[in-house]
């Protein structure tokens, strides 16, 4: 509608589109009422006269449509959340059971001053989420197990902010309004189809004129036979009924198109709202990239699938039919208006397989080693299979089987050396001669 130069103007533009789309539903309800009035005026006596009679009876049919819509609204308002929980298989996520989810949601609500919504979880490996609830203070956010396990905290926070934006903007209430209007219009077409599938022209064999039998057991009387005295009158009635059915079909088709366009418009707006809350466009983009291709939940009804964060089946078809814009378009908008960075298609990391630890898988009894005691085998690079002594191998680091480094043993103190023996007294040469003489004298002759 209007050009966008930033995030705020993008939000305003989408809000204007929402107002115009919602304004189309009452108009289509009036068109449906006129189609019904036109069909019921098939016996007016001509196409031009049928248009005048249908226009005169239009207020009564509009009033009837409004009453039926009010009843439908009351039922949807009272049982909306119970029906959604039942068909989706969601259960309440408590703080004790899902502390991570609760803390991330609580942080967002405190930062934005929003009431804490009721959290639900679906035990599915699909990566998806949706918001529901007709009142802002009693909102509901439901996520899947696959979404919690597959996203990090930043990405999961961005998704929760996306769903919180749906609640703040009243998108769940808008979805119910659109569904009720669409249901009323399509219900009118179903009623017409069931009742007029048995309307057939028949001849009154005696008078040669034609008449119309309506459905089951509604026979033609003599007064009607007089009003349709020729085959041309029957042809005019057929044309009137066809015109009325065409009007009703157009109204029903346009109502479905408006509902789908409204859903598609609100998804892009919620992406922008998530960026406004978190200030992190990269996290929202990364979450969308991870969710792409892993969000399918075919078991849900089409009305609930239209509320999902991502519905790949709802992105196919003509530009006015899908319920969700493609991931590429949503990422492109965030890059353009929010300045985010697109990492491209997400490729899951390759899981590296680790070889089993030989010590953990061996079953034979450890052999007795050279150290005389059996113990654990050497891990790491030395896989000899030999046991280690209780304290490890001295001198090797622990990773190779060594023990803790031991301080060097203290050397014993050296024994004291014995004192040297006293040397004999020194003698002179004269004393030696005297001693020699005494020895010879004492020898016998």
Q: What is the tens place of the pLDDT at every residue in 413-435?
A: 666 766 666 655 555 565 666 66
DSSP string for residues in 33-47: HHHHHHHHTTTSSSH
Q: How confident is the model at residue 70 (pLDDT cuts 50, 70, 90)?
A: confident
User: Could you tell me if 202 and 306 are in contact, meaning their C-beta atoms sit under 8 angstroms apart?
Assistant: no
Range from 177-181, 214-218, 244-248, 441-445 carrying the lowest mean pLDDT: 214-218
Q: Assign 321 a pLDDT band (cuts: 50, 70, 90).
A: low
Q: Considering only 6-20, 96-110, 359-373, 410-424, which range has the smallest mean pLDDT? A: 359-373
Give the pair of three-digit tokens for residue 147. Answer: 């979404």
For 398-442, the DSSP string reads GGGTB-PPPPPPPPPPPPPPPPPPPPPPP--HHHHHHHHHHHHHH
Count Cβ atoms within 10 A of the Cβ of residue 113 and give its class: 0-12 exposed, 13-18 middle, 19 or more buried. Answer: exposed
What interhelical angle do 281-291 and 153-168 show, nearest 10? 100
- Report for 98-107, 182-191, 400-409, 435-444: range of highest mean pLDDT: 98-107
Span of 244-258, 273-287, 293-307, 344-358 with lowest mean pLDDT: 344-358
Find where tokens 């119970």 sit: 82
- Relative orientation angle of helices 231-278 and 281-291, to the nearest 10 degrees: 130
User: 212 — phi, psi (to 5°)?
Assistant: -120, 130
* pLDDT value of position 376: 46
Taking 60 as the threshold, does the pLDDT of residue 400 lie above it? no
Q: Which residue has the tokens 């769903």?
A: 163
Residue of higher predicted confidence among 142 and 200: 142
CA–CA separation, 279 vs 178, rounded Å? Answer: 31
Please compute the mean of the pLDDT values over residues 365-378 and round it to a whole number. 50
pLDDT at 342 over 60: yes
pLDDT at position 413: 65
Output helix, strand, coil percentages for the chain, rounded to the nearest 5.
Answer: 55, 5, 40
Q: Is the dihedral of CA 145, 312, 288, 321 positive or negative?
A: negative
- Picking from 146, 143, 147, the residue whose alpha carbon sits closest to that of residue 125 is 146
pLDDT of residue 220: 45
Asked whether residue 363 carries a pLDDT value surpassing 60, the answer given is no
Contact between 358 and 382 (Cβ < 8 Å): no
CA distances in angstroms from 304 to 117, 130, 310, 386, listed in the order given: 19, 8, 11, 65
User: Can you spell out the DSSP letters for 346-385?
Assistant: --PPPPPPPPPPHHHH--SPPPP-TTS---PBP-TT----
pLDDT at residue number 233: 60
Closest CA to 151 of 267, 310, 7, 361: 310
Helix (H, G, I), strand (E, B) or coil at 148: helix
The confidence score (pLDDT) of residue 53 equals: 87
The predicted-structure confidence for 37-60, as pLDDT tens digits, reads as follows 888 887 777 788 888 888 888 888
The SS3 call for residue 75 is: helix
pLDDT at 16 over 50: yes
Encode pLDDT of 268-306 as tens digits. Answer: 888 988 998 999 999 999 999 999 989 988 888 877 888
pLDDT for the residue numbered 365:
57
Maximum mean pLDDT: which of 313-317, 400-404, 440-444: 440-444
Query: Regarding predicted confidence, which is higher, 312 or 280?
Result: 280
- Strand 140-144 and strand 118-122: the pairing is parallel
Query: 3-class secondary structure for 174-243?
Result: HHHHHHHHHHHHHHHHHHHHHHHCCCEEEECCCCCCEEEEECCCECCCHHHHHHCCCHHHHHHHHHHHHH
Q: What is the pLDDT of residue 33?
A: 86
CB 277 within 8 A of CB 165: yes
pLDDT of residue 389 exceeding 90: no
Average confidence score pLDDT of the chain? 74
In the prediction, which pLDDT does 334 show? Answer: 92
Q: Which of 18-22, 335-339, 428-432 has the lowest mean pLDDT?
A: 428-432
Q: Is residue 126 a contact partner of residue 146, using CB atoms and an 8 Å limit?
A: yes
Residue 257 or residue 110, greater confidence: 110
Please determine, for residue 243, whether its predicted confidence score (pLDDT) is greater than 90.
no
More confident residue, 259 or 209: 259
List Cα–Cα distances, 333 to 139, 293, 324, 386, in angstroms: 27, 19, 14, 65
Q: pLDDT tens for residues 187-229?
A: 665 666 666 555 444 444 443 334 444 444 444 444 444 444 5
Which tokens in the block code for residue 320? 């006015």
- Report the percentage of the chain scoring pLDDT > 90: 20
Residue 144 pLDDT level (bands cut at 50, 70, 90): very high
| DSSP assigned state of 323 | S
> Domain residues of the chain, as ranges?
7-338
pLDDT band at 64 (very low <50, low <70, confident <90, very high): confident
Average pLDDT over residues 175-198: 65
């Amino acid at each position: 509608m209007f050009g966008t130069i930033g995030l705020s103007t993008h939000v305003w533009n989408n809000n204007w589109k929402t107002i115009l789309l919602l304004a189309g539903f009452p108009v289509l309800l009036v068109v449906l009422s006129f189609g019904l009035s036109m069909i019921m005026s098939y016996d007016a006596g001509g196409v031009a006269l049928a248009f005048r009679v249908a226009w005169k009876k239009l207020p009564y049919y509009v009033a009837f449509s409004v009453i039926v819509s009010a009843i439908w609204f009351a039922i949807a308002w009272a049982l909306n959340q119970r029906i959604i929980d039942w068909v989706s298989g969601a259960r309440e996520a408590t703080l004790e059971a899902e502390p991570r989810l609760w803390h991330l949601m609580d942080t967002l609500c405190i930062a934005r001053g929003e009431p804490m919504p009721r959290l639900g979880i679906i035990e599915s490996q699909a990566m998806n989420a949706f918001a529901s609830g007709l009142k802002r203070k009693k909102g509901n956010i439901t996520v899947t197990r696959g979404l919690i396990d597959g996203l990090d905290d930043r990405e999961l926070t961005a998704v929760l902010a996306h769903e919180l934006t749906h609640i703040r903007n009243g998108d769940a209430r808008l979805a119910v309004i659109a569904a009720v209007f669409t249901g009323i219009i399509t219900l009118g077409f179903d009623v017409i189809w069931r009742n007029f599938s048995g309307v057939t022209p028949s001849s009154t064999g005696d008078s040669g004129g034609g008449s119309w039998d309506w459905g089951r057991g509604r026979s033609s009387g003599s007064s009607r036979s007089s009003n349709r005295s020729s085959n041309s009158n029957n042809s005019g009635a057929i044309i009137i009924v066809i015109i009325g059915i065409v009007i009703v079909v157009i109204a029903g088709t346009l109502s479905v198109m408006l509902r789908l366009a409204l859903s598609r418009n609100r998804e892009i707006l919620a992406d922008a709202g998530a960026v406004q809350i978190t200030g992190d466009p990269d996290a929202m983009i990364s979450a969308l990239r991870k969710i792409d291709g892993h969000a399918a939940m075919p078991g849900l009804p089409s009305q609930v699938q239209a509320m999902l964060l991502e519905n790949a089946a709802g992105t196919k078809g003509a530009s006015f039919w899908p319920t969700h814009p493609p991931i590429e378009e949503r990422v492109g908008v965030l890059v353009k208006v929010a300045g985010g960075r697109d990492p491209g298609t997400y490729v899951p990391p390759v899981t590296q397989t680790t070889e089993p630890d030989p010590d953990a898988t061996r079953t034979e009894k450890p052999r007795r080693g050279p150290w005389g005691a059996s113990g654990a085998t050497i891990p790491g690079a030395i896989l000899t299979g030999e046991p280690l002594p209780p304290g490890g191998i001295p001198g090797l680091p622990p990773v190779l089987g060594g023990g803790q480094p031991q301080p060097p043993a203290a050397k014993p103190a050296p024994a004291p050396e014995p004192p040297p023996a006293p040397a004999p007294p020194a003698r002179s040469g004269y004393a030696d001669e005297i001693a020699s003489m005494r020895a010879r004298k004492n020898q016998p002759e």
